[in-house]
Amino acid sequence: MIIAIDGPAGSGKSTIALGVARRLGLGYLDTGAMYRAVTLIALERGVPLENDDVLGALALEMELHFEDAVPGTPRAYVGDRDVSEAIRRPEVSRAVSQVAAHPNVRRALTVRQRGFAADGNIVLEGRDTGTVVCPDADVKVFLTASVEERARRRGRQLQEQGVGVEPSALQRELLLRDASDSGRATAPLQRADDALEIDTTALAPDVVIDLVCAEARRSAGARRSSC
């Protein structure tokens, strides 16, 4: 089974996707972490963020992999370097939408993401997993939440990293990122026509996980009955 979970920043994708993967015993892939890794390395190397060709080559050649040494806690590596925390830095968050908008970057990472999903039995989360990466996914989910709630969640994450940001500034940043992700020409953020949309603003994570797992069971039952 392939489950694709998409949505804007702060909608709860990572929490829900990880929870569903654990509950159903499936693999997990954070596609956004891949774009963040490209962005991190580009920033460190001084690569111009408007250079699609260089960034696309970096996305294609970068030695990126994930390890799950502690079950349910995947770590991102570039070569032997654990970049799990570094890719969440504010400067990466501010630049990742620009990097992710480049066609060559998206093409390179889409190929790699489809490779991860080739064997099935995986939950993918991102912004185009149900529309571009795995358009034939067994279950597609699109998460939303109010910008106020998304900013609160993002603020809590930053506080855990020792970074303080005003809620109003976070809201502006999220709205700008929404506009960039939804307005890009290649693989924009949008809900697949057959996706289950869930507003997570007032829902506890376990409730949302229950809803997605129920949809997965419904999908599996429908496939069995059609055989």
Average pLDDT, the chain: 93
Least confident of 21-35, 80-94, 107-121, 155-169: 155-169
Predicted confidence band of residue 165 (pLDDT cuts 50, 70, 90): confident
CA distance 151 to 171: 5
Cβ count near 219 (within 10 Å): 17
Identify the DSSP state of 130.
Answer: I
Which pLDDT does position 19 carry in this prediction? 96
**Amino acid sitting at position 173:** E
Could you report the per-residue pLDDT of 60-102, keeping only the tens digit for each?
999 999 998 666 678 999 999 999 999 999 899 889 999 999 9
CA Rg, the chain, in Å?
17
Spans of all domains in the chain: 2-220
Return the number of other C-beta atoms located less than 10 Å from residue 182's C-beta.
Answer: 12
Across residues 90-118, what is the average pLDDT? Answer: 94
- The yes-or-no verdict on residue 118 having pLDDT over 80 is yes
Give the number of other CB atoms < 10 A from CB of residue 93.
19
Tell me, what's the pLDDT at 221? Answer: 83
Q: Long-range CB contacts (< 8 A, 24+ apart) of 178-183?
A: 178/8, 178/9, 178/147, 180/97, 180/98, 180/101, 181/8, 181/97, 181/100, 181/127
195: closest CA among 153, 148, 144, 120?
Answer: 144
CA distance 68 to 177: 29
Cβ neighbours around 207 below 10 Å, total: 11
Which pLDDT score is estimated for 226? 64
Whole-angstrom distance, CA of residue 219 vs CA of residue 138: 7
* DSSP, residue by residue, 157-175: HHHHTT----HHHHHHHHH
Percent with pLDDT over 90 in the chain: 80
Q: Residue 46 has what pLDDT? A: 97
- Average pLDDT of the residues in 128-138: 97
- Phi, psi dihedrals of residue 221, rounded to the nearest 5°: -65, -40
Q: 64: which 2 tokens?
A: 């990126």
- Name the CATH superfamily housing domain 2-220: P-loop containing nucleotide triphosphate hydrolases (3.40.50.300)
pLDDT of residue 107: 96
The per-residue pLDDT for 227 is 54
Instruction: Give the model's confidence band at 176: pLDDT under 50 very low, under 70 low, under 90 confident, else very high.
Output: very high
The bridge status of strand 122-126 relative to strand 27-30 is parallel
Count of CB atoms within 10 A of residue 111's CB?
A: 12
Rounded to whole angstroms, the Cα distance separating 123 from 72 reads 12
- Contact (Cβ atoms closer than 8 angstroms) between residue 79 and residue 131: no
87 DSSP 8-state letter? G
Q: Which two tokens stand for residue 167?
A: 């809620």
Answering whether pTM is above 0.85, one says yes
pLDDT digits (tens, 9 = 90+) for 203-224: 999 999 999 999 999 998 877 6
